[in-house]
Chains A and B, each alone.
Chain A
Amino acid sequence: GESVGLHLPTLSVQEGDNSIINCAYSNSASDYFIWYKQESGKGPQFIIDIRSNMDKRQGQRVTVLLNKTVKHLSLQIAATQPGDSAVYFCAENLTGRRALTFGSGTRLQVQP
C-alpha cells in the first residue's frame, strides 16, 4: 500500500552543525505534511507543517522543504543543539482522511 518512509534510520551530527532529515512519500493524494519530534517516553511534539501548495516553509531554526515532483520531504535544523536529539517523524494527511499516517522515523544524535 502507499506509505510514508524515511531514507536514514539514524543521523549523527556535531553540535552547531546543520541537520537534514529526509522523508519519501508515495501517495500523490497527500495534501498536508507534518514533522514531529519524539523524545524517549513521550508523545510526538509538533515541529512544523506544510501544505501541498507550498514548497518551503520556515520556522525557528527549522525549515521544511517539499518536492512534489519526486515526492520528497525534508526537515532542516540549523545550528543543531543537544536538545534536538530525538526521533523525528514525518507524517502525511491523505486528502479527506482525518488521521495522520506516520513514516518510520529517523533518530537524530547530536554529538557535543
Chain B
Amino acid sequence: GAVVSQHPSRVICKSGTSVKIECRSLDFQATTMFWYRQFPKQSLMLMATSNEGSKATYEQGVEKDKFLINHASLTLSTLTVTSAHPEDSSFYICSARDQAGNYNSPLHFGNGTRLTVT
C-alpha cells in the first residue's frame, strides 16, 4: 500500500517552455503533498507543500510564479515549471502521507521526474 505515482519520469524541454509534472496517490487520499527538488549528488530540498483545495505553501527562495502547484483532488497534485531555463534542470520528487496518518509517520515518495531544459 501507500503508493505514489509520478509522471512523466523523464522530460526534455526547450528553454522558455512550460512543463507539467503529475503526482498521484494510488491507494490512499492525501490532503497534503510535498514537492522536493534534488540536484546531482545532493540531498532532497523541500520546495513547497501542496494543499488540497487551497494555496500551496512555498519554501523560502522558491518562486511561486515559476513553480505553479495545483492540488485539485485528494489524489492528484501537479507541479508546473513555467518558462523553464537550464538552471531548472533537476530531479523533482513528490511525496505524500496517508491523510489518516499523523505527522510522525513516513512520507511515501514517487519515483521522481528528471527534467532537462535545453
Residues of A within 8 A of B (CB): 31-32, 34, 36, 41-46, 49, 51, 89, 93, 96-105
Contacts and interface: CB of A to CB of B under 8 A. Distances in A.
Chain B binding site: helix, strand, loop or mixed by DSSP? strand
A34 B45 CA distance: 16
Given A43-B112, A105-B42, 15 more contacts: A34-B106, A36-B109, A41-B111, A41-B114, A43-B95, A44-B109, A45-B109, A46-B108, A49-B106, A93-B104, A98-B97, A98-B103, A99-B46, A100-B34, A102-B45
Given A31-B104, A93-B103, A99-B49, A44 B97 contact: no
Given A98-B32, A105-B43, A32 B103 contact: yes
Contacts of B49: 98-99
Nearest to A9: B41
Contacts of B111: 41-43
14 contacts: A32-B104, A36-B109, A42-B111, A43-B110, A44-B93, A89-B44, A96-B103, A98-B32, A98-B103, A99-B34, A99-B107, A100-B95, A100-B107, A104-B42
Q: Closest 7 A-B residue pairs measured CB to CB? A: A43-B109, A32-B104, A102-B44, A46-B106, A102-B43, A43-B111, A44-B109
A98 B97 CA distance: 9
**Most chain B CB within a 10 A radius of its CB, from A36, A43, A96, A98:** A43
Contacts of B95: 43, 100
B36 to A, nearest CB: 8
B78 interface: no
B110 to A, nearest CB: 5
Nearest to A50: B104
B77 interface: no
